[in-house]
């Protein structure tokens, strides 16, 4: 339950310079106190009455502003969710591509060395992904080392290209 704290004017009931004071001081103090509390009650009631009368409800402009603010907040939230979703999807795609490239390179290193090879067999890929392997020679190093280039693509678009070397041991 809330309380209203009403403060009357601080000097409202003091006698002015030209006013007469009552003959009996006790009687004057009682009158002064009763006037003080009567004014205090009136002031508090007036404030409560004004507060009740000023509650007119929400106007059209206020409602439109509130709806606009909520709309902006909802749009910002949806954009943030969309951006987060795209970032997660691209991150997952990158992780899958790196895993495929690492697996393919380990598979090629496990195969026997072939100095005339132009490609090596590929590992199985998830749907939508493709692996291409190119084998090239390195000039002025002999035939015991090959440069292996593995390219991972998804839906026809290259995502990741990794180069490594295979040595005849």
Clarify whether residues 88 and 152 are in a common domain: yes
> How many domains are there within the chain?
2
Clarify whether residues 84 and 158 are in a common domain: yes
Confidence at residue 13, expressed as pLDDT on a 0 to 100 scale: 47
Confidence at residue 116, expressed as pLDDT on a 0 to 100 scale: 85
Clarify whether residues 43 and 95 are in a common domain: no
Confidence at residue 95, expressed as pLDDT on a 0 to 100 scale: 94
Confidence at residue 17, expressed as pLDDT on a 0 to 100 scale: 53
* Inter-residue contact 142 to 156 (CB < 8 Å): no
User: Given the structure tokens 């409800």, which residue do they identify?
Assistant: 57
Confidence at residue 1, expressed as pLDDT on a 0 to 100 scale: 46
Q: Can you give the three-state secondary structure of 15-56, one letter per residue?
A: CCCCCCCCCCHHHHHHHHHHHHHHHHHHHHHHHHHHHHHCCC
Clarify whether residues 147 and 67 are in a common domain: yes
Indicate the DSSP class of residue 30.
Answer: H
Which regions in the chain score pLDDT beneath 70? Answer: 1-31, 44-56
């Amino acid at each position: 339950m809330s309380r209203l704290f009403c403060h009357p004017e601080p000097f409202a009931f003091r006698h002015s310079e030209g006013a007469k004071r009552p003959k009996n001081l006790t009687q004057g103090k009682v009158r002064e106190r009763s006037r003080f509390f009567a004014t205090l009650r009136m002031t508090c009631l007036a404030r409560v009455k004004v507060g009740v009368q000023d509650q007119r409800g929400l106007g059209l402009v206020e409602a439109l502003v509130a709806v606009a603010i909520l709309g902006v907040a909802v749009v910002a939230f949806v954009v943030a969710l969309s951006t987060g979703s795209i970032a997660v999807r691209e991150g997952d795609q990158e992780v899958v591509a790196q895993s495929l490239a690492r697996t393919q390179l380990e598979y090629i290193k496990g195969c026997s060395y072939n100095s005339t090879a132009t490609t090596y067999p590929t590992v199985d890929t998830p749907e939508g992904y493709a692996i291409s392997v190119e084998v090239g020679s390195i000039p002025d190093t002999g035939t015991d080392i090959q440069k292996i280039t593995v390219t991972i693509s998804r839906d026809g678009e290259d995502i990741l290209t990794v180069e490594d070397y295979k040595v005849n041991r």
